[in-house]
Amino acid sequence: MINFKLDPKSGVPFYRQIIDQIRYGIASGDLKLGEQLPTVRALAVQLKVNLNTVTKAYKELEIQKILETQQGTGTFIGSLTVNISEKEKHDKLKSICREFMSIAYSYGFDVEDVIQELKQNGGRS
Amino acid sequence: MINFKLDPKSGVPFYRQIIDQIRYGIASGDLKLGEQLPTVRALAVQLKVNLNTVTKAYKELEIQKILETQQGTGTFIGSLTVNISEKEKHDKLKSICREFMSIAYSYGFDVEDVIQELKQNGGRS
Amino acid sequence: MINFKLDPKSGVPFYRQIIDQIRYGIASGDLKLGEQLPTVRALAVQLKVNLNTVTKAYKELEIQKILETQQGTGTFIGSLTVNISEKEKHDKLKSICREFMSIAYSYGFDVEDVIQELKQNGGRS
Amino acid sequence: MINFKLDPKSGVPFYRQIIDQIRYGIASGDLKLGEQLPTVRALAVQLKVNLNTVTKAYKELEIQKILETQQGTGTFIGSLTVNISEKEKHDKLKSICREFMSIAYSYGFDVEDVIQELKQNGGRS
DNA sequence: GTGGTCTAGACCACT
DNA sequence: GTGGTCTAGACCACA
């Protein structure tokens, strides 16, 4: 179970924030394999966003095979099959980090600042 | 002087890439106070984008008082008196981290993955 | 809600006239915190200007943190925490006065003329 | 004789600043009828601006019959003939002041702030 | 030559 | 439906 939270000022679109929080929930163990997620309707009401926004998030996670939807029953955490080589993953990570630090640096932050912030908030809320 | 480069695949808008590279140039010392930037036309041709795209980037930096323009003369690195409060700085850091992790998640990485990578390479190499 | 009006003869760019009217609306209390502004399209049609012109005005106010926009939802009056330093305020006042007197001079008026008029009517009626 | 000064940051174009200072000089009595002005060349060097910029200023004042140029001799303060009715002048002044205060107000200034600034600097320097 | 503004129209992303 | 970005091309103001 997740305590979803949306930040309209973050610049990150709502649907993406929902996706991130589900992914994070899985990564952190808050969400377990097979666990049922809130219905789109319930989550939309809870977060005070449009139904389509939640639907979009669930759909994208479905495409990534992270969620599985059973018509009329609900949406569940699925089995994520990682089929990228470790080297490819690591290269990608490096390239992302490089680009990111270049932006952070231009705003006057260094690696330590960033690591500390990530440790504290995990880039959330 | 900067060697500007645009990546159309990054998803980051052109004008924002230009902004980031100028900020980075200043932070890294490549661009010095009072130095003249390429003319909007020259940069537009070089990057093969429209004039307005470059103008938009310069304009935003001018509003932020990072650049100064003198009509008929050119655009210059301005007096960045770094008059940003600690709170604003921290907000900026948070927003950068959030956006970054949002991208990292979408590639299947976790806060831990990122922190480890940053510790190892500092976002370099 | 504002009754926007543009004067093509004033020499002041359209997008700046829009900015000034929004700022004035906020200062005068016509626009309240959190209130939604007209959509860019609606305002563009109403003022008979191009979409981009309105967008430009909204964007500048957003950079200045006077407006907040949420893609897909709309543009709103933001939290103007008036975080301007006294020096910046004074600089702004000076720059406004300079620009103003420049216009007044061009019509043949003198600082004394202007001060007297302001004392009499306070720029009203 | 005037001690000309240009402020690149004011936003007021150079040629207009020159015009203003000459008009102000006349209004304040620093420049007397028939007095000779610096040559365009001399003033351009002194102010470190392009020759065309000074020429443009002198030419506009000539058109307004405030200056008179004698080929090969120099430029002189001419006789300003005011041929606008007092009422028209006053109406114009009022309309300028109204528009101006509306802008000043939107930036958080009131009539007193403006009057004080004008008294101190006369909208200059 | 410089930058500033504006239009018309397109396509995309988000709610 | 909302705003965001970009292009192509025009005309103006300033140095």
Q: What's the CA gap between A56 and A41, in Å, rounded?
A: 12
CB A105 within 8 A of CB B28: yes
Neighbours of C45 (CB within 10 A): 13
Closest-CA distance of chain A to residue B108, Å: 8
pLDDT in tens, C46-82: 999 999 999 999 999 999 999 999 999 999 998 765 5
Q: Which chains would you list as touching B if contact means 3+ CB atom pairs under 8 Å? A: A, C, D
The answer to whether the CB atoms of A8 and C70 lie below 8 A apart is yes
* Segment (H or E) for D37: none
pLDDT in tens, D52-76: 999 999 999 998 888 988 888 889 9
- Give Cβ neighbours of residue D62 (< 8 Å, ≥ 6 apart): D68, D69, D75
Q: What's the CA gap between D11 and D57, in Å, rounded?
A: 16
pLDDT in tens, C85-124: 777 788 888 888 888 888 888 777 888 888 999 988 776 6
User: Among chain B residues 39 through 98, which have CB within 7 angstroms of nucleic chain E?
Assistant: 39-42, 51-52, 55, 58-59, 62, 69-75
- For chain B, give every domain's residue range: 14-77, 86-121
The hierarchical CATH code for the domain B14-77 is 1.10.10.10
Q: Mark whether D and A touch (3+ CB pairs within 8 Å).
A: no
Q: Cα Rg for chain C, rounded, in angstroms?
A: 17
Q: From B78, which residue of chain D is nearest by alpha-carbon distance?
A: D9
Q: What's the CA gap between C87 and C106, in Å, rounded?
A: 29
Average pLDDT of chain C, as a whole number: 89
Among the listed residues A63, A53, A62, the one whose alpha carbon sits nearest the alpha carbon of residue A16: A53
Instruction: State the pLDDT at residue B50.
Output: 97
Q: Which chains would you list as touching C if contact means 3+ CB atom pairs under 8 Å? A: A, B, D
Strand E contact at CB of residue C9, distance < 7 A: no
Q: What residue is closest to E3 (Cα–C1')?
A: B71
Q: Is D7 helix (H, G, I), strand (E, B) or coil?
A: coil
Instruction: State the pLDDT at residue A9.
Output: 84
pLDDT in tens, B51-95: 999 999 999 999 999 999 999 999 999 876 556 677 878 888 888
| Distances from the Cα of C63 to the Cα of B75, C60, C69, C78, D108, angstroms | 19, 5, 10, 11, 19
CB A101 within 8 A of CB B96: no
Give the pair of three-digit tokens for residue A122: 């995990």
**D32 and B CB contact within 8 Å:** no
* pLDDT band (50, 70, 90) for residue B121: confident
Instruction: State the pLDDT at residue C112.
Output: 86
- Report strand pairing: C74-77 vs C67-70: antiparallel
Q: Which residues pair with A75 in a beta bridge?
A: A69
Q: Is B68 helix (H, G, I), strand (E, B) or coil?
A: strand
SS3 sequence of B7-61:
CHHHCCCHHHHHHHHHHHHHHHCCCCCCCECCCHHHHHHHHCCCHHHHHHHHHHH
Task: Give the DSSP letter of residue D35.
Answer: P
3-state helix, strand, coil in chain B (%, to 5): 55, 5, 35
- Report strand pairing: A74-77 vs D74-77: unpaired
* pLDDT band (50, 70, 90) for residue A49: very high
Please report residues of B whose CB lies closer than 8 A to that of A17: 102
* pLDDT band (50, 70, 90) for residue C28: confident
Q: What's the CA gap between B22 and B102, in Å, rounded?
A: 24
